[in-house]
Structures are given as C-alpha cells and as structure tokens.
Amino acid sequence: MATGTEHKFPCPVCTRPLEVKRTKKEKPYVICDPCGVQMFVRGPAGIDEFARLIERGNRDGLAERLEAMEERYRLTCPDCGGEFWIESELIKTSSFDGRLKGFRCPKKGCGAIVPWEGKR
C-alpha cells in the first residue's frame, strides 16, 4: 500500500506539482495522470539525491515559481482544450501591422489561435 507525503515534486513533462508517494518499502515515486508519467526512484543514491532535490525545491520556493511561470506561459486552446507552453514557433502576428495576435495551438489538426490578451 502506497502512502503519501507532504512533499511535492514537479512532473518532468508538464511541471504540475505532484504528491511524492512512498511504496511499502519506503521508496519515493510520483505519478502524473494527465501526462501518464510514472517516476520511481529505486537505488539508495537516487533516493538520497531525490530527497535533496525536494528539500532544495522547498527551500527555494520552486513550486511557487513554477506555478507563476505556468500561469504566465502556459495556454489552453479554446477550440480543442489542449494545453501548451508558448514557444516562438507558435507566434501568430497580424499580416496587416505585425502585431501579436496570439499563439497557434500546436495540436495536430487544430491550428486555432489562442489570444495573448489578458496575460500578465
């Protein structure tokens, strides 16, 4: 039976804060259901380093910084509902005056423009 901890660790794919859980043998792991990422830390050296990463993240306010970064730079497509990080390749500008219109949804077959208005 797995047990949860009060510690959080970011998903390596989407950066959502994940609860660090422990196996019955007290080995840490995280699971991100939306991404399908499962990360199990097995060896003693890896477990020690993982604990140091968690401690450093807690001390340096990593979760808060990632949350602020996600709020600012991660968009949700109004058409398909897909989430994505903004990237320079996705910029859509006006062909009339060159102003930023938003970002193209990268999901294959969607191509909707997600406006930048309202972002900080």
Measured distance CA(37)–CA(40) in Å, rounded: 10
**pLDDT per position as a tens digit, 51-109:** 998 888 777 777 777 777 777 888 899 999 998 988 889 989 988 998 888 999 999 99
Q: Which residue pairs from 49-54 have beta carbons closer than 8 angstroms and sit at least 24 positions apart in sequence?
A: 50/9, 53/9, 54/7, 54/8, 54/9, 54/20
Q: What is the pTM of this model?
A: 0.58
